[in-house]
Structure 1
Amino acid sequence: MALDAFDRALIAATQGGLPLVARPYEAVGAMLGVPGEQVRERLAQMLAQGLIRRIGAVPNHYRLGYTANGMSVWDVADERVSELGPLVAQLPGVSHCYRRPRHLPGWPYNLFAMLHGTSREAVEHQAQDIVALLGDACRGHDILYSTAILKKTGLRLKD
């Protein structure tokens, strides 16, 4: 679906986040010269059409004290990963979880879950909760800790 001029302007105005004000749609509408209700309705349509994935708050976990962040990688029995992955995704401290192909022999992992904690000890505790959840379907895991933030934004449309 092609974006019209209003859609492009709306995306440009919101792709960095909604304004942190009591009425964010009205604030965006004021920038674009349209009523806030038009902004809300069009964003809802874009969401329903799959043009945007979600509208929501994205906290800065570093500023909230969650400075130990690790991508946990799991070797889960292939016949169980579709069943167990969604359960892992629902755990506290897991910001995203997804299945990826193995790259044998050196990379046996097929389930990835980003863990956030206030310390490495807290992240290790979360990993042990995942071990317990996966049970005998788990054949191994590792945690790859973040050392730097390289990107914290999504795709940006350019004119």
Structure 2
Amino acid sequence: MRKDSGFENALIEVISQGLPLVSQPYAAIAEQLGCSETRVIDGINRIIMRGDMKRFGVVVRHRKLGYRANGMVVWDIPDARVNEIGHCIGQYSFVTLCYQRPRRLPDWPYNLFSMIHGQDRDAVIEQVEFISRQCGLRDIKYEILFSNRCFKQRGASYVRNQDLNLPGTVLSE
């Protein structure tokens, strides 16, 4: 067992709840855990470097921001061009995800997926057409799969609350 595993488990639990929406979120987390801001930042870095947490990102609730349409665009990109095209598509701010997946032939020829959010379907379609022009994809087959419903959106949970000494327990530095 790592010497800091209790602290790191508590840290993972706290950041899994979402970062506080304040100007210094790591300082607020440090106060909650009873330690220094530096210890929080160092702990997050250790957790990521060890591979215990693969991704540290944001869950954007786009509907609350006025974006009512989102489309998963599936592209049939020649395998030799997937990296090049993926970088081209991913450079645009309205693209929130862009990743490669294996084809499932003969039924599913698509190998590149990108998520685009817009205020309505027409905005998403315009953005897809823009990408198609800018990335040289006019002759590439694609489909836009629009969402019909929004289910739960939240970050991953890594540690169960009952395994921790939270809340109110100060973890030694």
TM range (shorter): 0.7 to 0.9
How many pairs does the alignment contain? 159
- Which residue matches 1:9? 10
Ranked by relative contact order (alpha carbons within 8 Å, sequence separation 6 or more), the top structure is: 2
Whether contact under 8 Å (2:103, 2:110) holds in the other structure is yes
Q: For residues 22-58 of structure 1, what are the alpha-carbon distances to aligned partners after superposition, in whole Å with 9 as ceiling and x for unaligned?
A: 3322221222121222112222333344433455554
Q: Which runs of 5+ in 2 are unaligned?
A: 164-173
- Which residue matches 2:76? 75
For residue 152 of structure 1, report the CA deviation from its aligned partner: 1.4
For residue 155 of structure 1, report the CA deviation from its aligned partner: 2.2
Whether contact under 8 Å (2:59, 2:154) holds in the other structure is no
Partner SS, residue 76 of structure 1: coil
Whether contact under 8 Å (1:77, 1:138) holds in the other structure is no
Partner SS, residue 28 of structure 1: helix
For residue 141 of structure 1, report the CA deviation from its aligned partner: 0.7
**After TM superposition, where is structure 1 displaced by more than 3 Å over at least 4 residues in a row?**
47-59
Give the partner amino acid of 1:51.
D
RMSD across aligned positions (CA): 2.2
Bigger strand fraction: 1
Whether contact under 8 Å (1:25, 1:36) holds in the other structure is yes
- Which residue matches 2:169? none
TM-score normalised per structure 1: 0.87
State the percentage of identical aligned residues.
Answer: 42
Q: Which runs of 5+ in 1 are unaligned?
A: none
For residue 122 of structure 1, report the CA deviation from its aligned partner: 0.6
